[in-house]
Structures are given as structure tokens and as C-alpha cells.
Structure 1
Amino acid sequence: MNHTRSNTPGSTRRFTRAGLASALAVSAALTAAAAAPAVAGGPTAYSAAVPRFLAPGDLPAASTPWTADPVRKGLPADESFCTAGTTPATGTRYRDFRTELDTTARQTITVAATPAKAAQLADRLRLAVETCLDRMKASYPGLEGEAFHHGPVDVEEGANVYSIDTHDPEVGSTDIALWSVGRDGRTVTVVQWGQLGELDGAPLAAFQRTTATAVARLH
């Protein structure tokens, strides 16, 4: 059932609630990504022909400094639950970020063959994030959580920001993940951020600014 809540400017849509899935599946994927060794492909040098990635200083401030892995080609071996199987490996690069205290992030950039194909990919990625909790609920019955669409970010061809707040009653853990999907021409980017805690403690406004920077910096 859909609900609305005005906890941010404009109408914020809750796209699912109750019995949702795993904090572990959202943020553990990010945490594992931060610790995982490099997969196929090596560091990718920035150039005018290659979309530019976020730098550590572009991420929301954390209690310890952000560090970043090199940009790598293809898809990570530990794709996140929400978007696994959606992004093609061809034309894709990614970069993982971490702090010393369980806060992690990842940016993925895909260059499609045409702007139309990029728009289709962005639509699929938004749908994957919006339906993630329902799919997690099916995989992790008994877990609880909430997910929200926090609206668009006005940058280039547009971006959208989401949150997924999950709680595992058995383990007693609560995790929050922030997601955004944005596009500039034929280039699509996804930014993920995750840590232990709840939405009330997440840097939502700062993440929206990070999203705007990520899309504006692509080209």
C-alpha cells in the first residue's frame, strides 16, 4: 500500500512498508564492496573522453575521513541486491569509498550507445530501487523496514533520490541506505551510501548535493 509523508520539501512517497528486507542485504553488500579486492580491469585514468567520478570530498561528511579505491572497469563481483542484473558490464565503471567506521559508498557509471538507451537504463535502475524492498521481503521474510522516494534533483537530464531503512529483529541490527539514479545524455550514474542507523540520522540533504555533483561532473 502506498502512503505519503511530508518529511522533506514536497510530497515524499513511501513506496512500501512493513515486513521489508534486510539491512544486511543492503549495507552488507556495500561493506563487502569496500573490503573486496579489485576484480577484472585495473584503475582507469580520467580523461576528457571518460566520465568523471566523485572524489572522497564530494561525499556527505562522516565522523572519519573518506578514502576511495581506483576507478575500475566493468561490474563489481558483489553487485548490490537492489540493482544486481540491471546494469550491463559493457560501458560500465565503478568506484568504492569507505570510512573507518562502517560507512561505505559506491558510484557506478555506464555510458550507453545512445541517449535513448541511457534513458531506458535509468528507468530500469529507478524501478529496481523502487521495488527493492518488496524483493528483499520475499528473500528475507520477517525483516522490517521502510523505503522512500525523496523526489527529483534538478541536474542535467535529472536524478532521483531514495532511502531504504531496514531492521533485522532477530539480529537486532538497523541499517540505512541512500540511493540515487541520474543521467546526463547517454551516461547514467548510480550512487549508493550506507551505514548502521536509521533515516533520521542519515545525511539526506548532503546526499542530494552529492547526487547533483555526481551527475553534473559526468561531462
Structure 2
Amino acid sequence: MFRRTARTARTAAALAATAAAATALVLAASTTSTAAVTAPGFLAGTDLPPHPGSAWYAGKVTKGLPEFAPFCVEGVLPATGSWYRDFSTEFDTGAVQVSVRTSSSAAAVKLAAALERKVAACAADWLRKTPGGTASWQDYGKLSVEEGAHVYGVHTSMPESEPGVHLYGIGRDGTTVTVVKWGQMGYLNEAPVPAFKKTTVKAVNKLNP
């Protein structure tokens, strides 16, 4: 007959503890992996500034970056960890949201800062590359939401061509960064800035529901 000794009991307990620890590590790794491949929450069409003549149509949330990088943030957004969604109307007004799950809070801070610098310099950069054009920009200030957000406006125009106006909302929640770009023909004084600020707040609040 097998007799359970104190030593045997201790060995069994140690093996059970080791197995439990291994299971916890597997579960933790699985959770981290799942979080890395799960898309952040995105805006819906109804979250964008209302258009007077059309509803907003939202595309699918898609992994990676858009085929064409959003104006003013070319070369800044990484393909790894990125997701995007396009929005359109029946007129010239459109929008795109790109969100990035970074590797750490420090990486997210760095990416958000790079996006802000790029947008703030966009008008001047565009003018240097576009002889005869005119451009301007506006800093519409910071927003108090999660780890913060910032809204900017950029206007560009070429002689004998329709002017374009763009609004940018850049924000962060933990390790996730988002940028929302809205654009149409027109000027900065025609842009729906108050409504777009609300859109930006919603975009950041939806990142990690």
C-alpha cells in the first residue's frame, strides 16, 4: 500500500504550485497577445461634425495604414500596431481616423508628440514644396480627455484652384494614440471647430472601451 509521507506531500504541493504559475504565465501572455492584435475603438459616422447636405458613411475598421497617408502626417504613423477607418459624404467632405497601439506609454507619448510637430509644421512645409501656393495653420488648443488631446487646423490653396481646409485631432489613452483628420474645400473660418473638438474627445474616449 502506498503511504503518503510529509516529503511526498511537499513535493506534490510544489509541483502543483509550479503548474499553477506556468498556467498563469500562459494566460498572461495570451491576454497580452490578444490586446496587441485587437483594434482600438473607433468613431462612428454620427460622431463626426454634421454635414448640412449628407450623412456620413463609415468604412470598415482595417488593420494597417491607409493606401495614401493622411495629408500632413505622411511618414509619421507606423504600420505596426495601426488600424484605420475612412469616412465620406456625398460631397467633398471626408475624414479618416488612424489609431496605433504602441509598445509602451513612453512610445505613445513620443508618437503623439511627433504627430503634433508634423501637423504644426505642415503649412510651412507645404509652402516650401508648392511655389505660388498659400497656406496657414491654427492651433485650436488642448482638450482634457484621458492623457490629453490637441486640435489643429491647416489651410492650403493654389491659384485658380479650390482651397482646402483640414482639421486634426491628436490624442492618447495609455499606450494607444489616435489622429482624426477632417477635410473639405474651404477656409479655416468655415471649419466646424467646436463640433470637431467634440469629435476628438469621443475618438480618444472610444480607444479603450
TM more than 0.5: yes
In the alignment, which of 179, 203, 207 is matched to residue 190 of structure 1? 179
1:81 Cα shift?
Answer: 3.4
Q: Does 1:58 align with 2:42?
A: no
Other-structure match for 1:40: none
Deviation digits for residues 144-179 of structure 1, max 9, x if unmatched? 12101100011000000000112212x231111001
Structure 1 counterpart of 2:10: none
Give deviations 1:50-108, integer Å, cap 9, x for gaps. Answer: 31000000000002000011011111121023111111100000000000011000000
Alignment of 1:153-164 (within 5 A): 153-164=143-154
Q: Which runs of 5+ in 2 are unaligned?
A: 1-37
Unaligned runs of 5+ in 1: 1-48
1:214 aligned partner, one-letter code: A
Alignment equivalent of 2:100, drawn from 110, 132, 142: 110
Question: How far apart in 1 are the matches of 2:198 and 2:205?
Answer: 11
* Greater C-alpha radius of gyration: 2
CA deviation profile, 1:163-213 (whole Å, cap 9, x unmatched): 0112212x2311110011100000000000000111222111000000000
Query: RMSD of the TM alignment (CA)?
Result: 1.3
TM-score (structure 2 length as normaliser): 0.79
Where does residue 69 of structure 1 map in the other structure? 59
Correspondent of 1:133 among 113, 116, 123: 123
CA distance in 2, matches of 1:150, 1:73: 30
Corresponding residue of 2:4: none
2:47 maps to a residue whose letter is D
Matches within 5 A, 1:17-56: 49-56=38-45
Comparing both structures, which one devotes a greater share of its residues to helix?
2
Pick from 133, 145, 155: which aligns with 2:135? 145
SS of the residue corresponding to residue 182 of structure 1 reads strand
Aligned to 1:119: 109
Q: TM-score, normalised by structure 1?
A: 0.76
Provide the secondary structure at the position in 2 that maps to 1:106: strand
Supply the distance in 2 between the matched residues of 1:190 and 1:81 (Cα, whole angstroms): 12
Letter in 2 for 1:136: W
- Separation in 2 of the partners of 1:188 and 1:123? 10
Matched ranges for 1:168-179 at <5 A: 168-169=158-159, 171-179=160-168
Amino acid at match of 1:106: V
Please identify which structure carries the higher strand content.
Answer: 1
- Same amino acid, percent of matched pairs: 44
Distance 1:105 1:77 in 2: 14
Write the distance in 2 (CA, Å) between the matches of 1:73 and 1:109: 10
